[in-house]
Amino acid sequence: MKTRLAVVLIVIAIAVGIFGSVGWVSAQEKGLLFAHRGGGHEFDENTLDAFRSCYEKGLRGFETDVRMTKDGKLVILHDDSLDRTHNATGAVEHKMAAELRTVTSKKTGQPVLFLEELLSYLDDKPGVYLELEMKTSNKEFYPDARLDEYCRRLYAAVQAHKPKGSFYVCTSFDERPLRIVKALDADADLLLITGGPCCPEIVKRAQDLGVKRIGCRMEETSRAAVRAAQKAGLFVTGWPGHSLQDYHLAVGLGVDAICSDIPVAIQTWKAKNE
């Protein structure tokens, strides 16, 4: 019995040495459910209140969108303009940070969320999986010279704030910032997003970039394609997740992570049915 216990303790010690913490392992758990824009269909998307509400209800996975103001401050916003979600118009990229601090959301009157505020909220919450989508596809907003500044600021913020045991991933549809962050840190965890299904083309693009993760639309994605990507060494995230049916599709496809706009509803259903 003592010998068996000693073996178990050795295995645990090795696992901790490899993975760093239990939180890191949970962030890699098969079928990880995470909140798209902080649960954009359940809360006021991309606000601190949304992320706090999800966290307090037990979610430990999140996705958000990062943009940069005219004076170089990083802000959380999905769209190219504030028009849909906030009581303001125009692009974040054309505004100064001070101006944005006076802007509130249309839905619940929440202030514009700055990246520093979100990361500070998560500072004392280890074991979190966080995807930071680099919203840089608009080359008018992010020409190459400005893109370099954006990536350096984002990378520095993540390195300064990431708690031990958490797992932060920089993601993008745009290959340019992925290359820049990869040059800053060859071991950075990156994810290439595609608006199409999982397929050999997206697998090759990820491999060419040296990226280990892909985010694919689940429509038209096959189980065989997901298996092939995983066999090639890639983690596969499935999106979108607007409904319980989308969650079931993700489970059936066997993706590694599930991006959902209704994470609390999915988590509640799982607690009752799985």
> 31-58: per-residue pLDDT in tens?
899 999 999 999 999 999 999 999 999 9
Range of the domain at 70: 28-273
Say if 102 falls within a structural domain.
yes
Say if 1 falls within a structural domain.
no
Rounded to whole angstroms, how far apart are CA atoms 22 and 274? 22
Q: What is the mean pLDDT of the chain?
A: 90
Residue whose C-alpha is closest to residue 200's, from 218, 214, 179: 214
Mean pLDDT of 159-182: 95
φ, ψ for residue 244 (rounded to 5)? -65, -35
Say if 22 falls within a structural domain.
no
Say if 184 falls within a structural domain.
yes
The residues near 77 (Cβ < 8 Å, ≥ 6 apart) are: 46, 65, 67, 85, 86, 92, 112, 135
**Which pLDDT does position 16 carry in this prediction?**
32
Give the tens place of pLDDT for each residue, 196-252: 999 999 999 999 999 999 999 999 999 999 999 999 999 999 999 999 999 999 999
The residues near 110 (Cβ < 8 Å, ≥ 6 apart) are: 44, 47, 48, 49, 104
Mean pLDDT of 153-162: 95
**Which pLDDT does position 30 carry in this prediction?**
67
Mean pLDDT of 76-97: 98
Q: How many domains does the chain have?
A: 1
Mean pLDDT of 130-155: 97
Report long-range pairs for 228-235 (Cβ below 8 Å, ≥24 apart).
Answer: 228/200, 228/203, 229/198, 229/202, 229/203, 230/254, 230/256, 232/203, 232/207, 234/203, 234/206, 234/207, 235/191
Rounded to whole angstroms, how far apart are CA atoms 166 and 261? 21
Give the three-state DSSP class for 53: helix
> Which tokens sit at 26?
């949970």
Residue 227 is part of a domain; what is its CATH number?
A: 3.20.20.190
Say if 14 falls within a structural domain.
no
Q: In this structure, what DSSP letter does residue 196 have?
A: S
Entry pTM: 0.88
Say if 7 falls within a structural domain.
no
Residue whose C-alpha is closest to residue 40's, from 268, 267, 224, 263: 263
Mean pLDDT of 136-154: 97
Say if 21 falls within a structural domain.
no
Mean pLDDT of 144-173: 95
